[in-house]
Structure 1
């Protein structure tokens, strides 16, 4: 790996870490407000607040937005993100925070697989081994056989599936302007959630608006960090790093919701961190040039 490539990878990892921190803060607020409002309503309010924040950027970059040739790719990405975010908010409301986040840690493995088969990205054996070991750590935390079967669990796995597809689609649009991606995402998310939210709408108490506003702002800034990460760095490099969000989740559950991590959670954390360290230590070989992405994606 050349020095510029390593520098690009470090920058992408830093952007992704920023996104994970912001999303963790947002998760706390969603968990609190999810007890009072339907998940789809929270998603709509979050996207509406984000829409207001990107309007100045949309006007400034109106030429790039009007000139994009990847409208179909944007629509697919926004649809997947809408489903993923709605499922995620529902899971956070219905499941314990630790369980909902533990299931979400399956996403890096799914992203890696999708990146190989849908984008043609090349993944060395070390990264496959490291990611599979990390996935084993997730299984230790979830403790298969002890997880209750309910709609919240289905929503959590739905968030993993659609969220992974959205990540891969974001990678396929890496040549697009970041602002264009944000505008398409925010406008599309608002439109796609408006009608469902109207059917289940609950009046919002005046005192809840500051929290809902914070959800929207944190989500929007986090989205920008996320886009910068996947535009600058291959998905298969960032995928294992996503497991580090377990540290944020464990601390969040402990300090905000009195969730004391069990021994399975601690063991899972150790397994995941070891997998990450070994992957970064041994995967130092030269990276081959990535193939061009099919414009139809």
Structure 2
């Protein structure tokens, strides 16, 4: 993933920093959701024709191609203050992306998106275990509600072998991806562009050997593979702009709009009809995530 230098700069003040524009931020996040769903839809259409790790490598190489001009502009690679943490984060991100591409090919689109909504709840638990953050009772209750929602949405008794493998890969992706974010929070003093340059270069290195081992000739799929990389990079750019302009608490709930996009794409493109249980589970998971993130009034 790449981060691009600012196209424009909001007005700033010494006290408040960049002036926020929540409406503009919401527009950028909406674009991020659309590009991300588009990229995942293309990956899903490939199915298992190409190994997921091969898709990860091509995606990383496209990102690297985008970032190289900024490396040159900076006069070379900037050294990291926490190289060991960056290596661990890169390895976890490789696992997360590979699991993500495998899962989206195996699972209904709406179910794939719904399970991904558990990331904020898992991050809460990992932040308590790894970072020692204090979690209130209400947040733990929200985590329990979210877990119930996952069981209802997934409906383990109805899973076949193919869907079960997809769910396993998706949970591995969620855990690895969330752990990578937790590590990123420990690296918050690192420059953002430096992180993204090293992250993308690291993804290329960690995925290249397994991708070569499992490599299948893309044939006519080359344009599709490259489009996944371009769309994913565009989505990342929109995501960064969204969080630059808007307050995180304002735009975060908009992320759940991706379920509507997933249901729509799944229905019209992949002939998928979500079950009532999935909708009920999604409501519980989203409600739990919002409940866990609500800080309440301070006395």
| TM score, norm. by length of structure 2 | 0.77
Task: State the alpha-carbon separation in 1 of the partners of residues 289 and 242 from structure 2.
Answer: 18
What is the CA-CA distance between 1:126 and the residue it aligns to? 4.0
Aligned to 2:124: 112
Structure 1 gaps, min length 5:
288-297
Q: Deviations over 1:29-64 (max 9, x none)?
A: 11012342111111111111111011112222356x
Aligned to 1:89: 101
Q: Provide the secondary structure at the position in 2 that maps to 1:174.
A: coil
Paired residue for 1:146, among 155, 158, 163?
158
Are residues 1:190 and 2:204 paired?
yes
- Paired residues of 1:178 and 1:228 also in contact (CA < 8 A): no
What is the CA-CA distance between 1:17 and the residue it aligns to? 6.0
Are residues 1:180 and 2:203 paired?
no
- Paired residues of 1:98 and 1:249 also in contact (CA < 8 A): yes
Q: 1:120 to 1:234 in 2, by over 3 A?
A: farther
Paired residue for 2:223, among 210, 213, 225?
210
Aligned to 2:85: 73
Structure 1 window deviating more from structure 2 (153-162 vs 190-199): it is 153-162
Are residues 1:43 and 2:56 paired?
yes
Task: State the alpha-carbon separation in 1 of the partners of residues 295 and 288 from structure 2.
Answer: 12
Structure 2 gaps, min length 5:
1-14
- Paired residues of 2:118 and 2:285 also in contact (CA < 8 A): no
Q: Deviations over 1:214-269 (max 9, x none)?
A: 21022223345556788999999998876554333223312321211211122223
Q: 1:276 to 1:192 in 2, by over 3 A?
A: closer
What is the CA-CA distance between 1:96 and the residue it aligns to? 3.0
Residues 141-290 of structure 1 correspond to what in structure 2 (within 5 A)? 141-149=153-161, 150-206=164-220, 208-224=221-237, 245-275=258-288, 283-286=295-298
Q: 1:249 to 1:99 in 2, by over 3 A?
A: same
- Paired residues of 1:105 and 1:242 also in contact (CA < 8 A): no
Paired residue for 1:103, among 109, 115, 129?
115
What is the CA-CA distance between 1:75 and the residue it aligns to? 0.8
The number of equivalent residue pairs is 281
Q: Provide the secondary structure at the position in 1 that maps to 2:158.
A: coil
What is the CA-CA distance between 1:104 and the residue it aligns to? 2.6
Q: 1:229 to 1:83 in 2, by over 3 A?
A: farther
Aligned to 1:121: 133
| TM score, norm. by length of structure 1 | 0.78
Task: State the alpha-carbon separation in 2 of the partners of residues 231 and 129 from structure 1.
Answer: 32
Q: Provide the secondary structure at the position in 2 that maps to 1:66.
A: coil
Q: Deviations over 1:136-188 (max 9, x none)?
A: 33322112322235433321221111111111112222222221121111111
Q: 1:148 to 1:183 in 2, by over 3 A?
A: same
Structure 1 window deviating more from structure 2 (187-196 vs 167-176): it is 167-176
